[in-house]
């Protein structure tokens, strides 16, 4: 007797849809058979005319991000609830950046405590800022704690978070030996420091211009071409950055270099910074020109993963200052990311939310695939239903996508065999687990 059966749906496997019935036992996918005869089962969900997709993975979220004067609006409870409504069953948050190895334990403990309120499964990336310690030691303890990834910044020298190129190279060299994923926020620091523009929202994009991303990506790709290792470039904003990688470093893509982008760069352009409420769209790196956005869309096949970089603040916090430098940077999009991207790209986007992040971030084959032995994480998706985007479940009091319409709606979300969201109502509990990655 199985615990749960999903019947009559079109199941996504190996890039195709097949009429299959999927059965779950003990939180794991136990049987997959052609639709037809129903096997003995405690609970049956009829998925006629629906797509059954693997639970989505968001490899880039910020929860409880503390910026001193500001703290991002979502805690684990609200973020994971919003995520569940969006079909996300696993997300990866960041430990606070550290400069020394001995700070690691405290950062991990802090996050683990916060994450107890999660409705969905979660993992972490280690993060470093102005790192001044032993790279091998840090990676060793991070990996022993189930975190085989480290994030660093090539910018933010003004807030003392920039990595030196010597240290960056040390991380890459270690990555060659240990397969640790090196996550990089790539913007050229000197370019940003030398940009002589007004500190306003209208000029914000010119203060961190497209060229600063493109140049920095070229610079670090050159280092990877020489040293190898595994690099993951977070939140790529410019189509030109991707074209450059594809033209000059094609042989490294999918092997030594992975590319992530985010829904906001596909849906908004820098023109919103001229609007009265431009503050609400401030994030780093900034939104780009329509030309860069079009190129980003043209190059979607080169992008490996879609992460949200979810980091919302409240309207009042965003509007508090006129100076761009004082406004907290970040947007929220966890709840609607898949529908927003499916609306533009259709089925091509599925692997970028499932198989690819699972493989790149060492969650595979536990997550990211519908096959026997994998976690029973599913999204029941109606590709024809129109979703009217509302305020959602984030604790921020505005949603940048509010009132948009998308074709394609997450109807139900299942985490390890238990229904978490059923027909757009939360029915599950906080049973999210820390996923140790190897
Ligand atoms: Zn981020």
Q: State the distance from the centre of ligand 1 to the C-alpha of 40, rounded, in angstroms.
A: 45
Q: State the distance from the centre of ligand 1 to the C-alpha of 51, rounded, in angstroms.
A: 30
In whole angstroms, give the CA distance from residue 311 to residue 62: 5
Which residues lie across from 44 on neighbouring strands?
5
For residues 30 and 61, is the Cβ–Cβ distance under 8 A?
no
List, for residues 215-228, the tens digit of each pLDDT value.
999 999 999 999 99
Q: What is the mean pLDDT of the chain?
A: 97
Residue 406: pLDDT band (50, 70, 90) is: very high
Q: State the distance from the centre of ligand 1 to the C-alpha of 287, rounded, in angstroms.
A: 14
Q: Stretch 223-252: mean pLDDT, rounded?
A: 98
For residues 359 and 54, is the Cβ–Cβ distance under 8 A?
no
Is 90 exceeded by the pLDDT of residue 160?
A: no
CATH of 55-360, one of 3.60.20.30, 3.20.20.140, 3.40.50.300, 3.40.50.970: 3.20.20.140
Which residues lie across from 258 on neighbouring strands?
232
In whole angstroms, give the CA distance from residue 264 to residue 333: 8
Q: State the distance from the centre of ligand 1 to the C-alpha of 267, rounded, in angstroms.
A: 18
Nearest alpha carbon to residue 6 among 51, 45, 49: 45
List, for residues 58-87, the tens digit of each pLDDT value.
999 999 999 999 999 999 999 999 999 999
Residue 263 has a pLDDT of: 98
Cβ-Cβ contacts under 8 Å for 50 (sequence gap 6 or more): 9, 10, 380, 381, 382, 411
Nearest alpha carbon to residue 285 among 233, 243, 244: 233
Domain ranges of the chain: 2-53+370-426, 55-360
Residue 245: pLDDT band (50, 70, 90) is: very high
Residue 159: pLDDT band (50, 70, 90) is: confident
Total residues found in the chain within this entry: 438
Q: Stretch 174-196: mean pLDDT, rounded?
A: 94
List, for residues 328-349, the tens digit of each pLDDT value.
999 999 999 999 999 999 999 9
List C-alpha distances in Å: 234 to 55, 81, 92, 219, 312.
21, 24, 13, 15, 18
Q: State the distance from the centre of ligand 1 to the C-alpha of 123, rounded, in angstroms.
A: 15
Name which residue leads in pLDDT, 193 or 293: 293
Nearest alpha carbon to residue 53 among 425, 428, 410: 410
Here the tokens at position 154 are: 């090539």
In whole angstroms, give the CA distance from residue 364 to residue 247: 29
Here the tokens at position 89 are: 């069953």
Considering the domain 2-53+370-426 in this protein, what is its CATH number? 2.30.40.10
Please give the torsion angle defined by the CA atoms of residues 127, 128, 129 and 130, in that order, rounded to the nearest 10 degrees: -170
Q: State the distance from the centre of ligand 1 to the C-alpha of 337, rounded, in angstroms.
A: 15
Q: Stretch 105-123: mean pLDDT, rounded?
A: 98
Residue 271 has a pLDDT of: 98
List, for residues 357-396, the tens digit of each pLDDT value.
999 999 999 999 999 999 999 999 999 999 999 999 999 9
Q: State the distance from the centre of ligand 1 to the C-alpha of 236, rounded, in angstroms.
A: 11
Q: State the distance from the centre of ligand 1 to the C-alpha of 359, rounded, in angstroms.
A: 20
List, for residues 3-40, the tens digit of each pLDDT value.
999 999 999 999 999 999 999 999 999 999 999 899 99
Here the tokens at position 216 are: 């920095």
Here the tokens at position 78 are: 């609200």
Residue 133: pLDDT band (50, 70, 90) is: very high
- DSSP 8-class letter at 147: -
Is 90 exceeded by the pLDDT of residue 158?
A: no
Is 90 exceeded by the pLDDT of residue 426?
A: yes
For residues 59 and 303, is the Cβ–Cβ distance under 8 A?
no
Q: State the distance from the centre of ligand 1 to the C-alpha of 265, rounded, in angstroms.
A: 13
Q: State the distance from the centre of ligand 1 to the C-alpha of 309, rounded, in angstroms.
A: 5
Q: Stretch 133-149: mean pLDDT, rounded?
A: 98
Q: Stretch 188-209: mean pLDDT, rounded?
A: 93
């Amino acid at each position: 007797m199985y615990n749960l059966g999903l019947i009559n749906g079109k199941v996504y496997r190996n890039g195709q849809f097949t009429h299959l019935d999927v059965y779950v036992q003990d939180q794991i996918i136990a049987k997959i058979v052609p639709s037809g005869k129903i096997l003995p089962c405690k609970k049956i969900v009829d998925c006629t005319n629906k797509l059954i997709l693997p639970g989505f993975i968001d490899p880039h979220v910020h929860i409880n991000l503390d910026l001193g004067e500001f703290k991002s609006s979502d805690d684990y409870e609200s973020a994971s609830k919003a995520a569940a409504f969006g079909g996300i069953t696993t997300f990866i948050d960041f430990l606070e950046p550290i400069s020394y190895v001995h700070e690691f334990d405290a950062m991990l403990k802090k996050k683990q405590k916060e994450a107890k309120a999660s409705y969905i499964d979660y993992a972490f990336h280690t993060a470093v800022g102005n790192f001044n310690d032993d790279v091998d030691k840090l990676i060793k303890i991070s990996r022993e704690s189930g975190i085989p990834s480290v994030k660093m910044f090539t910018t933010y020298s003004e807030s003392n978070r920039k990595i030196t190129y010597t240290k960056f190279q040390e991380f890459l060299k270690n990555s060659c030996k240990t397969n640790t994923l090196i996550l990089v926020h790539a913007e050229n620091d000197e370019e940003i420091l030398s940009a002589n523009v007004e500190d306003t929202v209208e000029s914000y994009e010119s203060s961190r211009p497209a060229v600063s991303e493109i140049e920095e990506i070229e610079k670090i790709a050159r280092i990877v071409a020489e040293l190898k290792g595994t690099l993951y470039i977070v939140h790529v904003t410019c189509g030109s950055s991707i074209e450059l990688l594809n033209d000059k470093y094609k042989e490294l893509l999918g092997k030594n270099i992975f590319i992530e982008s985010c829904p906001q760069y596909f849906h908004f352009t820098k023109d919103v910074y001229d609007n009265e409420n431009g503050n609400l769209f401030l994030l780093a790196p900034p939104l780009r020109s329509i030309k860069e956005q079009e190129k980003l869309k043209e190059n979607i096949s080169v992008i490996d993963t879609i992460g949200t970089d979810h980091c919302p603040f409240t309207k009042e916090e965003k509007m508090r200052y006129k100076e761009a430098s004082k406004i907290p940077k970040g947007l929220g999009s966890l709840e609607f990311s898949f529908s927003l991207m499916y609306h533009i790209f259709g089925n091509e986007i599925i692997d970028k939310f499932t198989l690819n992040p699972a493989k790149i971030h060492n969650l595979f084959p536990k997550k990211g695939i519908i096959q026997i032995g994998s976690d029973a994480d599913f999204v029941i998706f109606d590709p024809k239903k129109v979703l009217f985007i509302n305020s959602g479940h984030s604790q921020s009091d505005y949603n940048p996508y509010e009132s948009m319409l998308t074709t394609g709606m997450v109807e139900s979300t299942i985490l390890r065999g238990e229904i978490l969201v059923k027909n757009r109502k939360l029915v599950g509990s906080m049973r999210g687990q820390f996923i140790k990655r190897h």
